[in-house]
Amino acid sequence: MALAPENQPLKEIPPKAADLSAWYTAVCIKAELVSYSPVRGCVVLRPYGFGLWENLQKELDARFKATGHENAYFPLLIPESLLTKEADHVEGFAPEVAWVTHGGSEKLTERLAIRPTSEVIIGTMYAQWVESYRDLPILINQWANVLRWEKATRPFLRTMEFLWQEGHTAHANAAEAREETLRMLEVYREFAETVAAIPVYSGAKSASERFPGAVETYSIEALMPDGKALQSATSHDLGQNFSKAYDIDFTDADGLIKHAYTTSWGMSWRMLGAMIMTHGDDRGLRIPPKLAPVEAVFVPIVRGGDDRAVQRAKELAAALRIEGFRVRVDDRDETPGYKYAHWELRGVPVRIEIGPRDVDAQNVVLVRRDKTRGDDDHKTVVSENALAGALRVALDGVHATLHAQALEFLGSHTFVLQDRAAFFAACKNRDGMIDIAWCGRAECEAHVKAETSATTRNTHPLRGGETTCIACGEPATQRAYFAQSY
């Protein structure tokens, strides 16, 4: 049959700066993260890509459990009559829903939606489970596939089916629900920075960018190399909107029957798209070590039939695995140069070279993916018995570089503007995150969007001294980051 793109001879990926979109697609395919599938809008997450997702899951799941949450699993299918109970919610999601109308050869009496998100089915269950204030809070997370009808397909960024987690909590009062919403926003921010090495702006969305049915939506927003923002996770305070629609009521300590306050919050495999675009370079991926399926790869060098380095690499790899490192030995019958390019494309943070002379000297050579020839610390000779410690240091170093470079980019592409014309020009030019004093009005936002394609990403408090909205001249009530976005 025809060769799939990833099986065609490895060609140079296009330079990242020249065409981010072409670079992105090439890297996703050639690094074997994903394959396009015969199902429109759906991609296959291949083992190396799934390895990224497993590490994201492990890191995020530990944070959810540390903040008191438990996992559960709710049905994929939602009856149409249930979905339509919360008016804003159904209006927001109905155009994106895939409908099941037949089971076997039987036509259903009621259509079933494939979940685009699970507030509806989870709210319905919470209504059954909650009776008194003693049953609150409920703190549940679900790892699941969801589906939203899409025409376009862009790996991780825009697909019909995607993997995500969705947290859903119910509380006895508004303050607790708000606290939870902000707690999980902070979990996402901290994860983005310390695991994915991506600095983000976190804040509240404007009213028009809120989740359908939410009282307040918060997000973390990253800035991509093309100057477009990427919303990387959201956390919603749903107030009593869903508890009223789905009857989540309880007897409070004062004996009165009240509606609960609910929240929901999610991060999807989109985060991996942000990671790829933020850190990659012209040689391919650069994966932050905590997400890397392979933290270090041994490339043993065989010279004139002397293959002692292969055996030694396997022994050293086994020792590192016991210490908890994710390592591989590439003992394929290929040239070192081929292997270097192979693993650089795949973004492995550290390469460990070992040849016959290294075996004699009981050394190895660590090569960091974040460094290039000419950098002082590109290669380090390390004694075998100091390898684990040196590898830890090297991995921490790679994370630090990736984060510092991304932070430098975000900082140098965030513009605090005071001038209306400059603001509109910066939005139109995709200069980055444009930070202005803002009026908070939907009309103003709509006007900016129509003129420049930029929208508010999220908002933050006035610093003091701002009086008027830079975009329209009305009184300023807050600050907002404007940017074009994915």
Give the footprint of a copy of itself on this chain (CB under 8 A).
1, 3-4, 6-7, 35, 37-39, 42-47, 49-51, 53-54, 70-79, 82, 94-106, 111-112, 114, 121, 124-125, 127-129, 131, 140, 144-145, 147, 149, 160-161, 163, 247, 249
Question: In Å, how far are 294, 387, 395, 408, 410 from 400, measured between CA atoms?
Answer: 18, 20, 9, 12, 15
Nearer Cβ to a copy of itself, position 73 or 337?
A: 73
Q: Alpha helix (H) ranges present in 413-439?
A: 420-429
Nearer Cβ to a copy of itself, position 79 or 440?
A: 79
Per the rule left: phi > 0, alpha: psi between -120 and 50, beta: everything else, 139 is beta
Collect all residues with Cβ–Cβ distance below 8 Å to 380 and sequence separation of at least 6: 365, 366, 390, 394
Task: Please report how close the Cβ of residue 248 comes to a copy of itself at its closest, in angstroms.
Answer: 9
Nearer Cβ to a copy of itself, position 89 or 205?
A: 89
Nearer Cβ to a copy of itself, position 70 or 419?
A: 70
Q: Which residue has the tokens 């003992």?
A: 331
How far is the C-alpha of 376 from the C-alpha of 233, rounded, in Å? Answer: 37
How far is the C-alpha of 278 from the C-alpha of 192, rounded, in Å? Answer: 12
Task: Please report how close the Cβ of residue 242 comes to a copy of itself at its closest, in angstroms.
Answer: 15
The amino acid sitting at 244 is: K
Task: Please report how close the Cβ of residue 359 comes to a copy of itself at its closest, in angstroms.
Answer: 27
Structure tokens at 352: 């460990």
Structure tokens at 441: 């009005």
Task: Please report how close the Cβ of residue 94 comes to a copy of itself at its closest, in angstroms.
Answer: 7
Nearer Cβ to a copy of itself, position 32 or 193?
A: 32
Buried residues in 27-58 as b, exposed as e (16+ CB within 10 A): bbbbbebbbbeeeebebebbebbbbbbebbee
Q: Are 34 and 46 in contact (CB under 8 A)?
A: yes
In 10 A of CB 15, how many CB atoms? 12
**318 burial via Cβ count (<10 Å: 0-12, 13-18, 19+):** exposed
Task: Please report how close the Cβ of residue 270 comes to a copy of itself at its closest, in angstroms.
Answer: 15
How far is the C-alpha of 146 from the C-alpha of 156, rounded, in Å? Answer: 13
Nearer Cβ to a copy of itself, position 150 or 384?
A: 150
Residue 416 sits at the vertex; the CA angle it makes with 418 and 20, to the nearest 5 degrees, is: 125
Task: Please report how close the Cβ of residue 38 comes to a copy of itself at its closest, in angstroms.
Answer: 6
Q: What is the Cβ-side half-sphere exposure of residue 462, based on CA atoms within 13 angstroms? A: 15
Nearer Cβ to a copy of itself, position 104 or 304?
A: 104
Task: Please report how close the Cβ of residue 265 comes to a copy of itself at its closest, in angstroms.
Answer: 17
Nearer Cβ to a copy of itself, position 96 or 226?
A: 96
Nearer Cβ to a copy of itself, position 109 or 385?
A: 109
Task: Please report how close the Cβ of residue 407 comes to a copy of itself at its closest, in angstroms.
Answer: 32
Task: Please report how close the Cβ of residue 5 comes to a copy of itself at its closest, in angstroms.
Answer: 9
